[in-house]
Chain A
Amino acid sequence: MAKTTRFDTLALHAGARPDPATGARATPIYQSASFVFRDSDHAAALFNMERAGHVYSRISNPTCAVLEERISALEDGVGAIAVASGQAALHLAIVTLMGAGSHIVASRSLYGGSHNLLDFTLPRFGIETTFVDPRDLDAWRAALRPNTRLLFGETLGNPGLEVLDIPRVAELAHEHGLPLLVDSTFTTPYLMRPFEHGADLVYHSATKFLSGHGVVIGGLLVDGGRFDWGEPGKSAGKFPTLTEPYSGFHDMVFADESTTAAFLLRARREGIRDFGACMAPMTAFQILQGIETLPLRMQRHVDNTRRIVAFLATHEMVESVGYPELPEHPDRALARALLPRGCGAVFSFSIRGTREQGRKFIESLKIFSHLANVGDAKSLVIHPASTTHFRVSAEDLSAAGITEGTIRLSVGLEDAEDLIEDLSRALYAAGKG
């Protein structure tokens, strides 16, 4: 009845069209710092947001704009901003919404880099964060303060894969006139679209599954367009960056300019303009190449992961496997509801034995690459306690479910049998000590 374009088609086409100048079918890489004005009036109108178009590639770029539309379409958002990294996306979201004196409530099961930003860096700029058990709704509620401006979590916690109960956390946030920001890097819109469950802002490290090739660093910040930044009695007065005149842009009130995308306007007109963490057009092109095959790749990632999880779950050298589809995982029911297509391809397991045996295991792997990344087409392995989470205190490590024996895998697109043989060989080597 209603005409809607489906996900797999959007992954290939959204935001793009054959180049009107050359007919090029692929999205051209507009490798240009700036763009020519037609005349002085056109220039002034572009600068003052009276006309649509590109001025300078720090603010916007045609190749990046295609990527921004592509991810918006896949996430069912209203728009997006492409930035230099996932970390830049998180930073842009926070600084667009708040300043010194503000407070965030965040899941304690976060990527180590996100934890660093919130726990160590932002307090220096007057923004504090309270970390909570993502499964404990009462803890989220108890952590709220009058100056709280944002709730934040990951669709799947890192590295324990706690499934964020987005509907309930979003409901709590909205009761208090606050938005929920979700890091959706591990799941991508193929496995879950957080806006459909109540999230307000979503970001990705596009370096990971969206790209799939592991050759670029990039981030994407997407606005769902549903949050009312000035709702009387709820959010009113909490977000002056969006609802009050901004002297840095001719007293523009961003919520007056756009009913649905005020956040994005401010993020682009201030955040990208002033902090400057923009994405290069070549990077956008490469991420677009990855997204074209996202549906096919994510399904293969999940299929391979399920086979490896099944193998590890019964192996004598394995103490535990943390994957939300397993019966013993505490979020199994929630995962079935929110992630029916699968729980991604990154998970952790613990091997029996000493730290030395853990080292032996990793060094015995032949196909899995030992490095600090996830979401590559190639399978990856890392020891979180000594790498990604090495700055996290022992107490917080324990709270996040990380032990000295925890191994994190990012399952790639190789033949699953080869991956299982590689793991089997390394576990045997570790078992021999």
Chain B
Amino acid sequence: MHCDVGGRSVYAYTGSRGFDPALSTIVFVHGAAHDHSVWALQSRYFAHHRRNVLAVDLPGHGRSGGEPPASVEAIGEWLAALLDATRIEHAALVGHSLGALAVLEAAGRHPERVENIALLGPSVPMPVADVLLDAAKANDHLAYELITGWSFAPGHQLGGNQQPGVWMTGNALRLMERSQPGALYADLLACHHYAGGLAAANKVRCPALLILGQRDLMAPAKNATELSAALAGCRVVNLPDCGHSLMTEAPDAVLDALREFL
């Protein structure tokens, strides 16, 4: 579906289902240079199991208009504006990577509107290597190659996808290639400069789940240690042999963790 947020058209995948005000809502938020399709399996599952689902394309990504937000804080506020625009009072928020930071920020800023948060591949802080930032700034294809190379665990670099017939690294590369020029740099810069993760975590009032890949090079699991301590009572699911592309590398394990939590 398309909606208007702040005067810009926004696309959200709903699992081919209409909005039912009687059901609770889950908002899925993608990471850098991605779009809603990274959540295809998980979001479709919940859409067909008595939940409203909004797997959004962030501004300047996928089918959504506008420019990519310049900071994690801006995305956090944008998520609240999305709830306003869609007249959703409360929602569970699920985010990956940059999207996880945005979900954390939104839950810290608007605790009264967030029922649960699930953070996949978070890192607080989330510093980005200079070589990657430089390549992204130049819109150099190398940036996509670096991310693809670092985002899959060694065991998944050569395939073995649970989704039949899909070459994981090729698909990931092609999705990023579709992002608009400058989007990846804006996203990475937002991650790099975000310093409010622990402060936001201290303001969170809802249950939290962290899903961490034990072979994640982009957002190493150890970078979530302080975050998990700051999120009172948060649940942590560690996925062995999994890198940063959690929803692709371990789609069932991610879904099972989300099902149990949400």
Q: Interface of A with B (CB < 8 Å)?
A: 1-5, 10, 13-17, 45, 48-54, 59-62, 64-66, 68-70, 72-73, 76-82, 224-226, 228, 245, 250-253, 256-261, 264, 268
Do A65 and B164 touch across chains, with their CB atoms under 8 A apart?
A: yes
Do B167 and A226 touch across chains, with their CB atoms under 8 A apart?
A: no
For B167-178 the 0/1 string (1 means CB < 8 A from A) is 101110011011
- B16 (CB) vs chain A CBs: closest residue: A251
Q: Tell me if B35 is interfacial: C-beta within 8 Å of chain A.
A: yes
Cα distance A76–B177 when bound, in Å?
Answer: 13
Do A73 and B16 touch across chains, with their CB atoms under 8 A apart?
A: no
Cα distance A69–B170 when bound, in Å?
Answer: 10
Stretch of B37-45, B89-97, B111-119, B182-190 contacting A (4+ beta carbons < 8 Å): B37-45
In the bound complex, residues from chain B placing their C-beta under 8 Å from that of A51 are 41, 45, 251-252, 255
Q: Tell me if B159 is interfacial: C-beta within 8 Å of chain A.
A: yes
- A251 (CB) vs chain B CBs: closest residue: B16
* CB<8 Å pairs between A and B, sample of 27: A2-B142, A3-B150, A15-B158, A15-B167, A16-B159, A17-B159, A17-B160, A49-B40, A50-B45, A50-B48, A51-B41, A51-B45, A52-B252, A54-B164, A66-B159, A68-B164, A69-B161, A73-B170, A78-B174, A79-B171, A225-B174, A226-B174, A226-B178, A245-B16, A251-B16, A259-B178, A260-B171
Do A72 and B145 touch across chains, with their CB atoms under 8 A apart?
A: no
Q: Interface of B with A (CB < 8 Å)?
A: 13, 16, 35-37, 40-41, 44-45, 48, 62, 131, 142, 145-146, 148-150, 155, 157-167, 169-171, 174-175, 177-178, 251-252, 255
Do B164 and A259 touch across chains, with their CB atoms under 8 A apart?
A: no
Cα distance A80–B145 when bound, in Å?
Answer: 21
Cα distance A72–B167 when bound, in Å?
Answer: 6
Cα distance A97–B251 when bound, in Å?
Answer: 29
In the bound complex, residues from chain B placing their C-beta under 8 Å from that of A1 are 131, 142, 146
Cα distance A17–B241 when bound, in Å?
Answer: 13
In the bound complex, residues from chain A placing their C-beta under 8 Å from that of B166 are 69, 72, 78-79, 261, 264
The residue from B142, B170, B251 contacting A225, defined by CB atoms under 8 A apart: B170
Cα distance A336–B146 when bound, in Å?
Answer: 31
In the bound complex, residues from chain A placing their C-beta under 8 Å from that of B158 are 5, 10, 13-17, 73
A91 nearest CB across to chain B (Å):
18
- With A17-B158, A258-B40 in contact, do A79 and B165 touch (Cβ < 8 Å)? yes
Known contacts A2-B148, A50-B255, A268-B165; 7 further A-B pairs (Cβ under 8 A): A2-B149, A3-B146, A17-B159, A50-B48, A52-B163, A228-B178, A260-B175
